[in-house]
């Protein structure tokens, strides 16, 4: 009953007298980002609305209000973000926004914004009985109502449900497993492209208090959706070894997990032992060459003499040039000494003993 009341209230705040569909969890996330006083966060939300061709006027009206206030009041949004907002409005295809965009063309705005407003107007082909009017939305009230609705509708995320999230899960699959996050951050990653070098891109970080964080990137090519790239748990693993991220059959999942351990300097002895186990098991598995090269790097950074033997075995027995290269580099960082070495299967024997 509370949830229904919240959305009735939101509809009255945003669209008095008009029947609309409530925003789903993903749309609520974009609405929250749109109403932040941060041009990069607003841009990420606008790009998402545009790429996913979201037509829900509850959300698109917020984008229009944010754009209108930015143009009229000259707030902190840069021209690039304003252009993305115009594109997001155009992606709705709704003639509800025709007069609003035409009014922007009459103002003293940048040529870039005018260019994208004109392009967006061409996409508004679906007739509407209503017209968007700037100022009809109280963004502060809308933000408050959305935050309350998130609290009402949020299921309780548990360690088991957090552990069930995997690399490749879409944002709605995450929400289905965990509900709304406690906090949403926009972070930036980099990837190397041939002839270009390092290219930065934005990621969403969903924070679940006392459980961990999820980094998601927008996959334009395959899924046209936000997809989990990295799962960072705040708690030590206490489940079955077969369910540990290091034992996943996805090379992307394993690589992502190891890179997260390096970035957070949070690797445990179990993590290192499982890397060593995978090196023994998959030293000639070409699919895991990149992921286990990162594993060699982590073992080298640990400086733990316990892993000299597995690195030496990798150098001697692997047929994968890249893996051998990183094993050699990492071995140089590990001091020699009379230390009991990790041997294949030790991690399972230790578990049985415990």
The CATH number given to whatever domain includes residue 177 is 3.30.1450
Give me the phi and psi of 213, to 5 degrees please.
-130, 150
> How far apart (Å, rounded) are the C-alpha atoms in residues 182 and 211?
11
> How far apart (Å, rounded) are the C-alpha atoms in residues 276 and 271?
9
Q: Residues 20, 68: one domain?
A: yes
Q: What is the DSSP-derived secondary structure letter of residue 305?
A: G
Q: Residues 8, 142: one domain?
A: yes
Contact 301, 332 (CB under 8 A): no
Q: Residues 218, 244: one domain?
A: no
Domain endpoint, select from 234, 253, 283? 234
Q: Residues 228, 258: one domain?
A: no
The count of domains in the chain is 3
Residue 271, domain extent = 236-354
> How far apart (Å, rounded) are the C-alpha atoms in residues 142 and 21?
15
Task: Write out the E strands in 154-294.
Answer: 183-193, 197-208, 212-219, 225-233
Residues 6+ apart with CB under 8 A from 22: 7, 10, 11, 58
Spatial CA neighbour of 233 closest among 160, 284, 301:
160
Q: Residues 148, 6: one domain?
A: yes
Q: Residues 14, 54: one domain?
A: yes
Q: Residues 124, 47: one domain?
A: yes
Domain endpoint, select from 234, 254, 277? 234
Point out the residues of the chain with pLDDT beneath 50: 1-13, 15-21
Contact 184, 48 (CB under 8 A): no
> How far apart (Å, rounded) are the C-alpha atoms in residues 337 and 30?
55
Q: Residues 334, 202: one domain?
A: no
Q: Is residue 37 classed as helix, strand or coil in its secondary structure? A: coil
> How far apart (Å, rounded) are the C-alpha atoms in residues 49 and 57?
11
Q: What is the DSSP-derived secondary structure letter of residue 208?
A: E
Whole-number pLDDT of residue 302: 94
Give me the phi and psi of 39, to 5 degrees please.
-60, -30
Q: Residues 181, 242: one domain?
A: no
> How far apart (Å, rounded) are the C-alpha atoms in residues 73 and 216?
33
Q: Residues 322, 343: one domain?
A: yes
Domain endpoint, select from 152, 186, 218? 152
Whole-number pLDDT of residue 15: 44
Whole-number pLDDT of residue 264: 79
Q: Residues 73, 165: one domain?
A: no
> How far apart (Å, rounded) are the C-alpha atoms in residues 146 and 331?
53
Residue at token pair 């995997």: 166
Q: What is the value of pTM for the model shown? A: 0.73
Q: Residues 27, 106: one domain?
A: yes
Start-to-end C-alpha separation, the chain: 49
């Amino acid at each position: 009953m509370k949830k229904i009341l919240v959305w009735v209230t939101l509809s009255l705040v945003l669209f008095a007298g008009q029947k609309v569909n409530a925003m789903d969890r993903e749309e609520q996330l974009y609405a929250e980002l749109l109403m932040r006083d941060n041009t990069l966060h607003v841009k990420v939300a606008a790009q998402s609305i545009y790429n996913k061709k979201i037509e829900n006027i509850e959300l698109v009206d917020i984008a229009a209000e944010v754009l209108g206030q930015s143009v009229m009041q000259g707030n902190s949004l840069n021209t690039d973000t304003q252009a993305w907002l115009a594109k997001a409005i155009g992606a709705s295809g709704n003639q509800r926004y025709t007069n609003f965009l035409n009014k922007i063309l009459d103002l003293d705005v940048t040529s870039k914004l005018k260019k994208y407003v004109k392009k967006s107007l061409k996409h508004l082909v679906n007739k509407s009985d209503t017209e968007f009017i700037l100022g009809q939305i109280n963004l502060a009230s809308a933000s408050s109502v959305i935050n309350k609705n998130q609290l009402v509708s949020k299921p309780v995320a548990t360690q088991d449900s957090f552990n069930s999230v995997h690399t490749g899960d879409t944002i709605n699959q995450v929400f289905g497993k965990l509900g709304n996050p406690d906090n949403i951050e926009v972070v930036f990653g980099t990837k190397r492209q041939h002839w270009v070098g390092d290219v930065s891109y934005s990621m969403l970080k969903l924070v679940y208090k006392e459980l961990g964080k999820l980094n998601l990137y927008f996959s334009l090519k395959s899924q046209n959706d936000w997809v989990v790239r990295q799962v960072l748990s705040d708690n030590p693993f206490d489940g079955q070894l077969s369910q540990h991220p290091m034992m996943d059959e996805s090379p992307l999942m394993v690589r992502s997990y190891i890179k997260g351990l390096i970035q957070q300097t949070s690797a445990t002895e179990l993590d290192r032992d499982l890397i060593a186990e995978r090196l023994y098991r998959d030293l000639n598995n070409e699919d895991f060459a990149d992921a286990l090269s990162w594993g060699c790097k982590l073992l080298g950074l640990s400086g733990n003499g316990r892993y000299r033997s597995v690195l030496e075995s990798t150098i001697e027995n692997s047929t994968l040039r890249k893996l051998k290269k990183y094993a050699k580099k990492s071995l140089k960082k590990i001091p020699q000494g009379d230390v009991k070495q990790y041997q294949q299967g030790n991690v399972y024997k230790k578990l049985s003993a415990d």
